[in-house]
Structure 1
Amino acid sequence: MKIAIIVPMAEEAEFYGSHFQSADKKMFGSTEFEHFSVNRNDIYLGLSGIGKVNAAMNLTNLLANENIDLIFMTGSAGSLKSSIHKKDLILPSQFTYHDAHNTSAGNYVEGQIPQEPARYELNSPAREKFIQFLEKNKISYQEGLIVTGDSFISSQNQKDEIKKNFPDAVGVEMEGAAFAQVAYHFNTPLVALRAISDNGDESADEDFDTFVREVGKKAANVITSYLEDELL
């Protein structure tokens, strides 16, 4: 299999580089991907950059040039639920855009890009297999809707506005729906794993730098264990 692992920030990717032995590096468009071999699977690790355009552009560069069988998207997110705390793992089941407001443009719902699905569903056999791994190893996680936008959410007012439009959302970040949109159009399964780095309120600025490496490592440790132990 050919598997992509794509993360927004270097701080979230550094654990993979120290864990796997890189065979070489390849440029796809403007993005450099490290190439690893794990259990006879080709792994491509790359940084998407931050935000929706960077995420879509850099994943598209890879998928247009390599016949990728599975995408792992990982990194951090802010919590939108009081029951979800810092360092918790979230396995998104859906993505949509919290900053897409197109209900007056036609028969669209909040978060929907015109002529696109209302939400990007991540149902796939690959995701089910990953869930089986998490449960077999007693790795705690929560599922639900993650919403994406081009703003770092760091105030209660921002958070309340998102929760008003998306009361079922469990987390917020800046790339996931763009990854999901690209994966949808390439018909490639996407497994997303986000770790909570902050609460999406006024404490987010001080929390983020402290927790992003720690939660990025937590998510990376789960994925590398899966690739080494299960994906034969």
Structure 2
Amino acid sequence: MTTAILSALPEEQASLIARLERAQRLTHAGRSFWKGELCGRPVLLALSGIGKVAAATTATALVEHFGVARIVFTGVAGGLAEGVNVGDVVVAQAFLQHDMDASPLFPRWEVPGYARTRFDCDARLATLLQDAAGNCLSGAGRLPELGDGAHRVHHGLVASGDRFVSSAPEAQQLSQALQEAGHPVLAVEMEGAAVAQVCLDYSIPFAAIRTISDRADDTAHADFAHFVQTVASRYAEHMVQALMRTL
């Protein structure tokens, strides 16, 4: 049973590709896929592309063409909730699309045809990812790139949208609007909700883990680039390997 590991950017998967055993590069739908083994388990590594449409296309290819058993997303996100800081890890419990608005035909954020706003992640996979993240941030498994500060693992709601949120007023407005509607979002990114929706359609287990690279504010652009280059790939390497050992 093959596990697909998705990331949005090449830097987020570089270390995983380097660790891949019996690696074989495949192409489909204009995308590259790396087939092989991690920790003795069959995996398929792929870049989702940036944004919801690209991510949905890749997820569909993974299910329809490659027949994967589950999909796991790793990468970075901007922290929205108070206390979700750079260097922390968010394990998604569910996703919503913060730019979905078909009102007044449907309530804001509800996805037409699904009668729901949130798309849940697989509980078992999410728990395994949470354990892997906890080990990575603990004294034994801690990455030296994180420095001496204390970092936490969070578990909850993540918002996706086709926009890189990079100003403090926008981040605050988005967080407040969702909070007031009963959606306390921890972090924001650009792909997870689309993959979650595809996985629901195909009844495929899905889970996601996001490292907080910035606070989705006016420093997000600089923070994001630096974090992806220096830490994100190492996070993915350690946490995905820990996950694979438990499957």
TM value normalised by structure 2: 0.86
One-letter amino acid matched to 2:51: G
1:205 is aligned to 221
Distance 2:57 2:19 in 1: 27
Percentage of identical aligned residues = 27
1:119 aligns with 2:118: yes
SS of aligned partner of 1:211: helix
Contact 2:125/2:205 (8 A) holds in 1: yes
- CA drift of 1:88 comes to 0.6
Q: Kindly report structure 1 stretches of 4+ aligned residues shifted beyond 6 Å.
A: none
SS of aligned partner of 2:13: helix
1:158-196 deviations in Å (ceiling 9; x for gaps)? 112211221200000010101111111111001100000
Relative to structure 1, the CA distance from residue 217 to residue 114 in structure 2 (aligned partners, 3 Å threshold; closer, same or farther) is same
Equivalent residues in 2 for 1:161-200, closer than 5 Å:
161-167=173-179, 168-200=184-216
One-letter amino acid matched to 2:99: D
Relative to structure 1, the CA distance from residue 206 to residue 129 in structure 2 (aligned partners, 3 Å threshold; closer, same or farther) is closer
- CA drift of 1:136 comes to 6.8
- CA drift of 1:37 comes to 1.9
1:220 is aligned to 237
Relative to structure 1, the CA distance from residue 35 to residue 209 in structure 2 (aligned partners, 3 Å threshold; closer, same or farther) is same
One-letter amino acid matched to 1:115: G
Determine which of 150, 154, 159 is the counterpart of 1:142: 154
Q: How many residues align?
A: 228
One-letter amino acid matched to 1:114: P
- CA drift of 1:81 comes to 1.7
Relative to structure 1, the CA distance from residue 31 to residue 22 in structure 2 (aligned partners, 3 Å threshold; closer, same or farther) is farther
1:63 aligns with 2:79: no
Distance 1:104 1:147 in 2: 21
TM value normalised by structure 1: 0.91
Distance 1:24 1:76 in 2: 26
Structure 1: runs of 5+ lacking an equivalent: none
My pick for the range that moved more, 170-179 or 132-141, is 132-141
1:20 is aligned to 20
One-letter amino acid matched to 2:55: A
SS of aligned partner of 1:147: strand
- CA drift of 1:226 comes to 2.3
1:111-159 deviations in Å (ceiling 9; x for gaps)? 2221123100113333334445555777551011110111111111211
Two-structure CA RMSD over aligned residues (Å): 1.9
Contact 2:93/2:126 (8 A) holds in 1: no
One-letter amino acid matched to 1:5: I
One-letter amino acid matched to 2:117: A
Relative to structure 1, the CA distance from residue 14 to residue 137 in structure 2 (aligned partners, 3 Å threshold; closer, same or farther) is closer
Contact 2:92/2:126 (8 A) holds in 1: no
